[in-house]
Amino acid sequence: MNDPNGPMRYKGVYHMFYQHNPKGATWGNIAWGHSVSHDLVNWVPLPLALSPTKSYDINGCWSGSATLLHGHKPVLLYTGLGPNQNQTQNLALPLNLSDPFLKHWVRSQLNPLIAPTSGNHINATSFRDPTTAWLGHDGLWRILVGSQRKDRGLALLFKSKDFVQWVKAKHPLYSAKHTGMWECPDFFPVFINSTSGVETSTPHDNHFRLKHVLKLSLIDLSQDYYMIGTYNQTRDSFIPDMGFEDTELSSIFRYDYGKFYASKTFYDDEKKRRILWGWVNESSVREEDVQKGWSGIQGIPRSVWLEESGKQLVQWPIEEIEKLRSRKPLIWHSKVLQPGALLHLPGITAAQADVEVSFEVKELAKKAKEWKQSGGKMREPQKMCGEKRGIGPFGLLVLASKGLQEHTSVFFRIFKLNNDDNNNATKFVVVMCSDQSRSSLNHKNDLSSYAAFLDVDPLHHKLSLRTLIDHSVVESFGGKGQVCITARVYPTLAINDEAQLFVFNNASSNLKLTTLTAWSMKKARVNSVKI
């Protein structure tokens, strides 16, 4: 499987569709897989929702979204890949609206609804992945479709009164040069000063203090970027907030700094939250994927909201995941970790665990030596993970073998910057890293490491880390969800009962561990035959 498609909740049932090859372990023969759940944790597979059978999608039913029309009626919009790689947008409807599982879908006889023509100046081979639709103040439905013109990425805007006849707007909702093809765009509102989610079509007026998020999946980088800004409903344009207008992407945030792509959100009307899903790719080579018989997973569903400062989004695993926690966690309080400390976490199933830890680093940060940035510019965070002039590293060793020949480390480093601006305030930079370089003795795997800057003042705030470990996937959340890093690792020694879990301090001074709580995690029921 790859891209998540059309997540929604209908008649009390959560639906997840996804790009799927029913005939093989790797990409090809792309259809829409379909699974349902009552709790977003345990899932039941259903028959394929869409298969490539029509002339306009004979080469694949590609990504798209679900929309709940008036009367809570669900529909799917998806991209069909036809002859000559032409891409069109198509509509599918449930055969039986009384069926909460929506097992059967039928295509509209009017498909394709939107096709590239000489009159609409659309690149026929770069035109895909329609968003969830939203209602404008004029009563018209709107969707975005990803595209490109030369090296400029585009979020093309289309409008419709009846969800069948669509008209392309004169201008894209937003575009940016030097970004290439925009896949899987997503566009949704978020509350200011609230962790609650917002329904996609909520009107943006004086009764609601809203911002909007525009997310782009950049195929050239295989990364998901997002911008926060204001949606001008009259002009149908998106205006990024200050700091998000850099079209070179150097100042734009990512959902996740590891393996996480083609993400999709939906509004959960039961718990009034917005939920984010992302595709987590493999790190193994193709022949090993074929040998094991599958590839691709969906990450843990995440609740997403606007951080108090309004400068970035916060992501956190949905609360339902906590149902899998064991009843007796390991709990530590106020431990001093001496330099070189490596403490084993006993009694935890290290191959399947949930760990939350926080560090008090005020005294440690004070001892950092000032570091002059080269050329006045910050280095890439990945390069700073191994920088010896910083304080650290300290954090967790996960999926570790007994002799530590294999381990994945998730850690922090702290740097104190020189003050070129004549400001007396001390400036610190915190880098969060996920190092896979020693995660496996199988060197055919992708052993890349990932990193990101964490916006936190170590003199006044603790550094927190939550890591979810599930055999081959490590999802880490730093600063209570400010930074997320997902890794795929394939240890050969640290598997099942042979895996171990540690907290460590490789800083040159003592470090205070304020709290640590670790849970063994039960298995979710996935591909169960019962609902």
The whole-number pLDDT of residue 374 equals: 61
Spatial separation of the C-alpha atoms in residues 47 and 351, rounded to whole Å: 31
Tell me whether residue 107 is in a domain: yes
Tell me whether residue 454 is in a domain: yes
- On whether both 340 and 446 belong to a single domain, the answer is yes
Nearest residue to 27 (alpha-carbon basis) of 299, 297, 296: 296
Angstrom CA distances, 155 to 168, 180, 411, stand at 11, 12, 36
Spatial separation of the C-alpha atoms in residues 53 and 18, rounded to whole Å: 17
Spatial separation of the C-alpha atoms in residues 491 and 429, rounded to whole Å: 32
Q: Is the peptide bond before 393 cis (omega within 30 degrees of 0)?
A: yes
pLDDT digits (tens, 9 = 90+) for 450-508: 999 999 999 899 999 999 999 999 999 999 999 999 999 999 999 999 999 999 999 98
Q: Is the peptide bond before 112 cis (omega within 30 degrees of 0)?
A: yes
pLDDT above 70: percentage of residues in the chain: 94
Look at residues 319, 351, 378 and tell me which one is the last residue of a structural domain: 319
Tell me whether residue 516 is in a domain: yes
Tell me whether residue 86 is in a domain: yes
Tell me whether residue 427 is in a domain: yes
pLDDT > 90? residue 250: no
**How many domains are there within the chain?**
2
Nearest residue to 329 (alpha-carbon basis) of 516, 504, 501: 516
CATH number at residue 503: 2.60.120.560
Look at residues 287, 319, 351 and tell me which one is the last residue of a structural domain: 319
> Checking DSSP bridges between strand 152-160 and strand 463-470, what pairing results, if any?
unpaired
Spatial separation of the C-alpha atoms in residues 301 and 320, rounded to whole Å: 9
Angstrom CA distances, 431 to 225, 316, 346, 376, 383, stand at 19, 19, 28, 18, 10
Across 401-462, where does the E strand assignment appear?
Answer: 408-417, 427-435, 450-454
Q: Per the residue annotation, which of 3, 186, 224, 470 is the catalytic one?
A: 3
pLDDT > 50? residue 126: yes
pLDDT digits (tens, 9 = 90+) for 265-296: 999 999 999 999 999 999 999 999 999 999 99
- On whether both 399 and 481 belong to a single domain, the answer is yes
pLDDT digits (tens, 9 = 90+) for 152-186: 999 999 999 999 999 999 999 999 999 999 999 99
- On whether both 301 and 348 belong to a single domain, the answer is no
Q: Rg (Cα) of the chain, in Å, rounded?
A: 24
pLDDT > 50? residue 206: no
Look at residues 319, 352, 387 and tell me which one is the last residue of a structural domain: 319
For 55, which DSSP code? G
pLDDT above 90: percentage of residues in the chain: 84
- On whether both 330 and 314 belong to a single domain, the answer is no
pLDDT digits (tens, 9 = 90+) for 396-417: 999 999 999 999 999 999 998 8
pLDDT > 70? residue 198: yes
- On whether both 360 and 499 belong to a single domain, the answer is yes
The whole-number pLDDT of residue 245 equals: 63
Is the separation of the CB atoms in 233 and 226 below 8 Å?
no
Domain holding 91, by residue range, is: 4-319
Tell me whether residue 438 is in a domain: yes
The whole-number pLDDT of residue 424 equals: 60
Angstrom CA distances, 414 to 177, 195, 367, 506, 526, stand at 34, 29, 10, 12, 40
Question: Between 424 and 9, whose confidence is greater?
Answer: 9
pLDDT > 80? residue 429: yes
- On whether both 414 and 370 belong to a single domain, the answer is yes
- On whether both 168 and 54 belong to a single domain, the answer is yes
Give pairs for 93-98: CB < 8 Å, separation 24+: 97/73
Tell me whether residue 491 is in a domain: yes
- On whether both 226 and 331 belong to a single domain, the answer is no
Amino acid identity at 467: T
- On whether both 289 and 358 belong to a single domain, the answer is no
3 is catalytic: yes
Across 152-292, where does the E strand assignment appear?
Answer: 152-160, 166-168, 174-176, 182-191, 210-218, 223-232, 237-240, 253-254, 261-268, 273-280
The whole-number pLDDT of residue 6 equals: 97
The whole-number pLDDT of residue 246 equals: 57
The phi, psi pair for 445, rounded to 5°, reads -70, 160
CATH number at residue 231: 2.115.10.20
CA dihedral 114, 119, 123, 124 (to 10 degrees): 50
Mean pLDDT for all residues in the chain: 93
- On whether both 271 and 352 belong to a single domain, the answer is no
Spatial separation of the C-alpha atoms in residues 314 and 477, rounded to whole Å: 10
Nearest residue to 78 (alpha-carbon basis) of 96, 53, 57, 104: 57
Tell me whether residue 531 is in a domain: no
- On whether both 14 and 30 belong to a single domain, the answer is yes
Spatial separation of the C-alpha atoms in residues 442 and 495, rounded to whole Å: 13
Residue 419's pLDDT band, with cuts at 50, 70 and 90, is low
CA dihedral 334, 337, 338, 342 (to 10 degrees): 150
Is the separation of the CB atoms in 192 and 220 below 8 Å?
no
- On whether both 300 and 360 belong to a single domain, the answer is no
pLDDT digits (tens, 9 = 90+) for 433-447: 999 999 999 999 999
